[in-house]
Amino acid sequence: MEVVESIERIRERVLQLRAQGRRVGLVPTMGALHAGHLSLIEASRRECTATVATIFVNPAQFGPSEDFSRYPRTIDQDLAELRQAGADLVFVPRSEEIYPPGFSTFVEPSSVAAPWEGSCRPGHFRGVATVVLKLFQILPAHLGFFGQKDFQQALVIRRMVADLNLPIAIRVCPIVREADGLALSSRNRYLSQDDRHRATAISRGLRAARNRFLAGEARAELLRETVLSELRQSGITQPEYVAVADAETLAEVTEATAATVILVAARVGQTRLIDNLVLGDSNDA
């Protein structure tokens, strides 16, 4: 596995792979890898004949009061895991490589970026869309792999790819969960033992809502209340949002269908967690 820091070299290597007829999969990450990321590498290896991962903690997607400086950086372990998982190339640029002095062009994401994460984290999706477009330009891959845990992010990226005619196909891979339901996240490592335990209320609430839906309850307000009630029982009284929304547009719905997603963002202790469940998705346990 080759580790590359420069744009020039990674582009050259990816173009070589393409010239050899390899189908190239791209897995963008911010490092602090966990089994969710590794499932993206596996998905890429199933569909592609070369897999390129990137590790870059993108300053442009963090707000001024967010955790950019303390975001976990575990590069040696990340590289060992990527090697073990079978990645072929890893791009680990320095910040100045991606954002050289004078950098001043950003992607304005579509309206799907506006609600939920978009309103809680102003500028976040602008930063995500910009860096992802840059990665797509730097590394001309055939397929890009993203996790469903960042549900809204995946929609923003899909929309950008369609709107800007980018020659890459996007795959969104299922959420990987701990045995007790907690969605894997690089930020889970911030949780104290007590918060870690309380955090399970999020996935429990989502599952309880889906069970009610499967039992015939379609009123969105009641499904939302089901999630809120689980959260309250664990002392999470002020989630940032619990949204029952259309899985394509993210507009709130009043009647849920199989194509409805429930999105949650909540602080557990000091740690901000997000999770989601599509009501008709029987694969997410």
| Contacting residues toward ligand PAF, per CB under 6 A | 28-30, 58, 61, 128, 131-132, 150, 153
Nearest residue (CB) to ligand PAF, 72 versus 280? 72
Nearest residue (CB) to ligand PAF, 30 versus 261? 30
Q: Least CB distance from residue 179 to ligand PAF, whole Å?
A: 23
Q: Least CB distance from residue 3 to ligand PAF, whole Å?
A: 17
Nearest residue (CB) to ligand PAF, 133 versus 220? 133
63: left (phi over 0), alpha (psi -120 to 50) or beta: beta
Of all helices (H) and strands (E), which one includes residue 205?
helix 193-214
Q: Least CB distance from residue 19 to ligand PAF, whole Å?
A: 26
Nearest residue (CB) to ligand PAF, 33 versus 244? 33
Q: Least CB distance from residue 228 to ligand PAF, whole Å?
A: 26
d(CA 212, CA 219): 10
Q: Choosing from 37, 124, 142, 197, which is the catalytic residue?
A: 37
User: Do 264 and 229 meet the contact criterion of CB atoms below 8 Å apart?
Assistant: no
Nearest residue (CB) to ligand PAF, 128 versus 243? 128
Q: Least CB distance from residue 95 to ligand PAF, whole Å?
A: 12
Sign of CA pseudo-dihedral 25, 30, 33, 39: negative
Give the CA angle between residues 154, 158, 161 to the nearest 5°: 140
Q: Least CB distance from residue 153 to ligand PAF, whole Å?
A: 6
Taking residue 96's Cβ as centre, other Cβ atoms within 10 Å add up to 9
Catalytic site residue 34? no
Nearest residue (CB) to ligand PAF, 68 versus 241? 68
The residues annotated as belonging to the active site are: 37
